[in-house]
């Protein structure tokens, strides 16, 4: 923008320089014309004035020049009134008219130059204002576009913040569910451990009972009658133990169902529960094997 203004001012200065040169040329032309007129007057045989012009002579005042010419003419008229009065007056009027007309023409040309200069300046000023308004409108449009973009960015930021809040809520929910799953896992693990301990105690008691029975059988082998009673007792114990094993199996099935539900929440718990189930089944098989062994005895 500043470079454009500088170029405009340069063009304006060039135009002013051209106008000044033109005015100087016109002034020189007017001065030369004035000299020609004075030389013509001096060339008149009845006019006795000096016609040698120098640089020091004051030609800036037309009135002084006219007064000088008029004085010379008056002196010539006094000497040769009868011969050249009419011709001298005619030349004097012509000279005055030419000088006045030249001065008026110069003044009119100067006024026209000033008017043209003013119009040119006003036109350039209007063009500059139009260009300025155009740039201002473009700047406002850019500001508007930037405002729209900023609004979109702020909206996206708000959406991102909302997504962050949702993610945090989801993380909290996941952490809560994980805590619940861990609690459930610990609960089932504890129950399984308790059941295992209980089963171990029952098995140990069963083994102790079996050992006692075996001892009694060895001791009472010679007592046939008592052995039959012991066999009957063993059958009853076997029946009771079978019922206890069935109950334990049902409990195991219940635990298995609970483990299956827990397996839906976590794969790790499922694998562990299957392993524990397998161990319980093996133990059950061992119980059945021992029972079959007892039956054989």
- pLDDT tens digits for 111-169? 888 888 888 888 878 888 888 888 788 778 877 877 787 787 777 778 777 877 877 77
CA 156, distance to chain mean position in Å, is: 11
Rounded Cα distance, 157 and 151, in Å: 10
Name the strand (E) or helix (H) holding 53.
none
- The confidence band for 176, taking pLDDT boundaries of 50, 70 and 90, is confident
Asked if the model's pLDDT at residue 282 lies above 60, the reply is yes
Rounded Cα distance, 177 and 158, in Å: 28
Rounded Cα distance, 41 and 38, in Å: 5
pLDDT of residue 45: 57
Would you state the torsion angle of the CA atoms of residues 222, 228, 230, 236, taken in this order, to the nearest 10 degrees?
170
Tell which residue, 57, 22, 51, 54, has the closest CA to residue 37.
51
Mean predicted confidence (pLDDT) in 188-199: 77
Quote the Cα angle for 167-172-176, to 5°.
Answer: 145
Cβ contacts of 113 within 8 Å, gap of 6 or more: 19, 22, 23
What CA–CA distances, in Å, run from 296 to 28, 202, 228, 291?
Answer: 155, 22, 15, 9
Asked if the model's pLDDT at residue 179 lies above 70, the reply is yes
Rounded Cα distance, 199 and 201, in Å: 5
Answer yes or no: are the C-beta atoms of 257 and 229 closer than 8 Å. Answer: no
Helix axes 81-219, 2-42, angle to 10 degrees: 170
Identify the three-state secondary structure at position 286. Answer: helix
pLDDT of residue 181: 76
Mean predicted confidence (pLDDT) in 94-121: 79
- pTM to 2 decimal places: 0.26
pLDDT of residue 134: 83
């Amino acid at each position: 923008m500043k470079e454009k203004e500088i170029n405009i001012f340069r063009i304006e200065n060039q135009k002013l320089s051209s106008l000044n040169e033109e005015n100087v040329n016109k002034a020189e032309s007017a001065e030369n014309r004035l000299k020609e007129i004075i030389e013509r007057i001096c060339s008149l045989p009845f006019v006795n004035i000096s016609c040698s012009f120098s640089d020091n002579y004051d030609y800036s005042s037309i009135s002084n020049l006219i007064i000088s010419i008029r004085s010379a003419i008056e002196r010539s008229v006094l000497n040769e009134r009868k011969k050249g009065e009419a011709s001298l007056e005619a030349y004097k009027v012509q000279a005055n008219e030419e000088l006045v007309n030249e001065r008026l023409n110069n003044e009119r040309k100067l006024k026209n130059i000033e008017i043209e200069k003013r119009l040119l300046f006003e036109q350039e000023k209007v063009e500059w204002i139009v260009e300025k308004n155009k740039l201002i409108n473009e700047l406002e449009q850019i500001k508007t576009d930037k405002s729209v973009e900023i609004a979109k960015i702020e909206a996206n930021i708000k959406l991102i913040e909302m997504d962050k809040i949702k993610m945090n809520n989801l993380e909290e929910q996941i952490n809560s569910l994980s805590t619940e799953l861990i609690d459930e896992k610990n609960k089932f693990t504890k129950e399984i451990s308790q059941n295992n301990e209980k089963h171990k105690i029952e098995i140990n008691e069963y083994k102790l009972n079996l050992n006692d029975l075996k001892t009694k059988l060895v001791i009472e082998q010679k007592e046939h009658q008592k052995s039959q009673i012991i066999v009957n007792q063993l059958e009853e114990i076997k029946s009771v133990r079978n019922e206890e094993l069935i109950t334990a199996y049902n409990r195991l099935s219940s635990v298995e169902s609970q483990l299956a539900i827990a397996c839906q929440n976590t794969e790790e718990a499922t694998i562990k529960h299957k392993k524990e189930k397998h161990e319980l089944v093996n133990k059950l098989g061992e119980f059945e094997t021992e029972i079959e062994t007892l039956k054989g005895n």
